[in-house]
Amino acid sequence: MPEPIKRLYRSKQDRMIAGVIGGMAAYFEIDSSLLRLLTVAIGIFTGFVPLVIAYIIAWIIVPEEPA
């Protein structure tokens, strides 16, 4: 039996703003707190404006997880 296709969804349970980071953490099977810290660190070193733009784009493009 083939494995189900793995898809990226915005999380309904593990969310701070829109569930993008929680969904990415579930997709990559890592802790969401670790991914949030990594995101903040990347934002500090590269500037927050590109990070905010990327987050908003992901918020629009990535669908919310089904019920």
When comparing pLDDT for 21 and 3, which is higher?
Answer: 21
Question: What is the pTM assigned to this prediction?
Answer: 0.83
User: Above 80 in pLDDT, residue 1?
Assistant: no
Domain boundaries, the chain: 20-61
Chain-centroid distance of CA 52 in Å reads: 12
Residues 61, 33: Cα–Cα separation, whole Å: 22
When comparing pLDDT for 67 and 56, which is higher?
Answer: 56
CB 36 within 8 A of CB 21: yes
Residues 66, 61: Cα–Cα separation, whole Å: 15
- Residue 59 phi, psi dihedral angles, 5° rounding: -60, -40
